[in-house]
Amino acid sequence: MLHHAAGRFAPEEMGPAAAGKRVDDPVGAAGKMLLNTDGASRGNPGPAGAGAFLTKADGTVVGAYKKFLGETTNNYAEYSALILGLESAAAAGATEVEVRADSELMVRQLTGVYKVKHPDIRQLVEIVRDKERRFRRVTYRHIPREQNVVADRLSNEAIDEGA
């Protein structure tokens, strides 16, 4: 089950988005958006969740999303969070997305630095590539965990609420 979780975070966790106005209904939102994603698994495999936090380029919060994934691996959870986020960005009218994730493996796989070897992850990459076609441009950036606290919190809340 997908949960919309906007409005549950302290300003210091949201970074520049804290200065922007809150948009709970993203109708009419367009242009470039920033997407923070994180997947979590308690055990590998174990109970897992996906989290995505979407803002406009000016810092305006578009939405916060989470999904319980059942029992799966951390890598599967990371890709599931990205897919959730890309779907949310498309629904919000984004034309360009800058993905920010603390999974160095996922970012390097999607930018071509690392090859994707596992068949389950290859299938997820195909889904991601299909979702990317909805946008004029999608870029990927690895960020430290400390800069991804909202997406991390969302993925862990999904586990707590779904387990």
Q: How far apart are CA 106 and CA 46, in angstroms?
A: 19
Which of 18-27, 51-60, 100-109, 130-139 shows the lowest mean pLDDT across its residues? 18-27
Set out the domains of the chain in order of their start, with CATH numbers: 2-162 (3.30.420.10)
Instruction: List the structure tokens of 61.
Output: 């919060």
In this predicted model, what pLDDT tens digit does every residue of 66-109 receive, in sequence order?
999 999 999 999 999 999 999 999 999 999 999 999 999 999 99
Name residue 50's beta-bridge partners: 39, 67
Residue 19 has pLDDT above 80, yes or no: no
